[in-house]
Amino acid sequence: MSNTTNIVYIGKKPFKKDTVCNTRTIFKQGEPTAVPSELVQRFLDFNEVWVAEKDAKAYIERQKLREEEAEAARIAREEAEKQEALDASMLIIVDGEEIDLGKYSSNQLSTFVEAHDLTIEGAKKPVPAYCKKVRDAFRASVADENTDQGE
């Protein structure tokens, strides 16, 4: 019977020098490395750093799946934050010029609606709600124009 057993370093670094048993062994990430059988359990007590060779493939696959899920969640969170920022913003771009509709009074908003042939349903008060309706209607009209030009 062999006096060594293979274990695999699964930590985050590309390599790890043994500081647990002071064998001065250098472990490369994801590669099996032979260690004395009597020390295997001491290494495996650190289950976030080393695993037995027979368990390494399954652990690495689970870790990749977790990383992919975390990346998908991060992307979804960023998209939600962008959409939230867009929904909160009253900025629009008219003829290359940025306009903040949040600074407009109800009369100025009415003039803007007429100038751009927008159809707004509902009351003009409260002004913040009317401003959102104007913004959404203008964005929709710009999106429609871009769609028509693409066809």
Chain segment 60-115, per-residue pLDDT in tens? 888 889 999 999 999 999 999 998 887 777 888 888 888 888 888 888 888 888 88
Closest CA to 54 of 28, 27, 32: 32
Average pLDDT rounded to a whole number, residues 7-35: 90
Q: Would you list the domain boundaries of the chain?
A: 4-83, 89-150
Q: How confident is the model at residue 146 (pLDDT cuts 50, 70, 90)?
A: low
pLDDT at residue 9, as a whole number: 92
Mean of the per-residue pLDDT values of the chain: 86
pTM of the model: 0.51
Q: Residue 27 in contact with residue 18, Cβ under 8 Å? A: yes
Q: How many CB atoms within 10 Å of residue 44?
A: 16
Average pLDDT rounded to a whole number, residues 49-68: 90
Average pLDDT rounded to a whole number, residues 20-28: 89
pLDDT at residue 14, as a whole number: 93
